């Protein structure tokens, strides 16, 4: 016999939504509008390490995670590799559909959620894709020795990712989650970021500017929050207030959209329910606030550890 607790851990999103009287999608919509909700909304995510599996498997992993932990917003991981060229890595052509298995996964996720919850498609910015096609050192070398070659490659990647972003919206995504890891000290100066990354990051976001929940993720502990957040079109901002030391209150001074954060992703596995409740109590964030980690939580986080976050927000 299935216990009552087991039933609720495996119930589908639509069943839970009907029981609560408000769907996760409606809860997020109210937050986007700055309206009061019945409780804090939350999301969390980690890498399933399924990038060598078909899109069907990736979709199944995503839906199972969502159903088990009842996240209000489904943040879809996107780890399929960008197509590698036959010649030198930076001699690229624009791809109309660079991540076909990811698009298939998004379509299945859309069908599985049945309109009850919003989902975001993760896109790693063009600079990050260039690093994966070569290496961090190679991208920096090309920047110094052949800057125009790097700029041309980044533009091609940006156009390809813009195509992917549009396909993601057609598949039902509420927006993209653009991960930017190079807008920080020790990688690029603010001036270098403005030249070698910002135009291409903006190109990807602009391709789906009308999406209701485009999210900018600033990755790292030395981010240029002030220099970046006002210059890229995003509805929501996700960053690690714990890793950067930038409090949510300061981010709110700079950003009027939805703040997504509060949870210490680095020490997530050791946080008990009381500690989590302290971290999510971000009154300065206002109503436009979604509880989330500052980045992906550890891949080996246990169900019980994630359930502590579910309980802390009252989900």
CB contact at 8 A, 219 and 179? yes
| Residue numbers of the domain that contains 249 | 4-312
The whole-angstrom separation of Cα 41 and Cα 283 is: 14
Instruction: Residue 7: count other Cβ atoms within 10 Å of its Cβ.
Output: 10
Our separate counts of H helices and E strands in the chain read 15, 8
Identify the H or E element spanning 32: helix 24-32
Q: pLDDT class for 227, splitting at 50, 70, 90?
A: confident
pLDDT digits (tens, 9 = 90+) for 15-26: 343 444 799 999
Q: pLDDT class for 315, splitting at 50, 70, 90?
A: confident
Q: Is the pLDDT of residue 2 over 60?
A: no
Total domains, the chain: 1
CATH number for position 93: 3.20.20.210
258-263 sheet: strands from edge to edge: 41-42, 289-293, 258-263, 236-239, 215-218, 175-180, 118-124, 73-76
Q: How far is CA 208 from CA 69, 107, 170, 183, 302, in A?
A: 29, 17, 10, 21, 35
The whole-angstrom separation of Cα 205 and Cα 202 is: 5
């Amino acid at each position: 016999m299935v216990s009552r607790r087991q039933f609720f851990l495996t119930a589908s999103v639509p069943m839970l939504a009907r029981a609560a009287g408000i769907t996760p999608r409606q809860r997020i919509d109210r937050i986007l509008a700055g309206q009061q909700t019945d409780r804090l909304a939350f999301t969390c995510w980690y890498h399933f390490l399924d990038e060598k599996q078909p899109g069907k498997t990736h979709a199944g992993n995503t839906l199972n995670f969502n159903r088990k932990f009842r996240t209000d917003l489904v943040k879809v991981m996107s780890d399929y590799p960008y197509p590698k060229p036959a010649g030198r890595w930076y001699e690229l052509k624009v791809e109309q559909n660079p991540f076909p298995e990811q698009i298939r996964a998004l379509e299945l996720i859309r069908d599985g959620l049945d309109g009850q919850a919003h989902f975001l498609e993760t896109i790693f910015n063009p600079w990050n894709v260039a690093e994966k096609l070569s290496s961090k050192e190679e991208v920096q070398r090309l920047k110094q020795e052949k800057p125009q070659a790097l700029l041309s490659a980044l533009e091609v990647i940006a156009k390809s990712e813009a195509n992917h972003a549009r396909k993601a919206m057609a598949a039902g995504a509420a927006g993209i989650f653009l991960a930017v890891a190079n807008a920080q000290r020790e990688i690029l100066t603010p001036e270098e970021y403005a030249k070698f990354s910002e135009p291409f990051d903006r190109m990807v976001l602009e391709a789906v500017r009308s999406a209701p929940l485009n999210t900018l993720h600033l990755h790292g502990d030395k981010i240029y929050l002030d220099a970046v957040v006002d210059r890229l079109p995003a509805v929501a901002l996700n960053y690690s207030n714990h890793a950067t030391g930038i409090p949510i209150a300061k981010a709110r001074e700079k950003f009027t959209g939805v703040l997504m954060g509060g949870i210490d992703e680095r020490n997530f596995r050791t946080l008990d329910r009381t500690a989590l409740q302290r971290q999510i109590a971000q009154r300065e964030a206002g109503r436009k606030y979604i509880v989330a980690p500052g980045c992906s939580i550890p891949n080996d986080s246990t169900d019980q550890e994630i359930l502590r976050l579910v309980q802390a927000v009252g989900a």
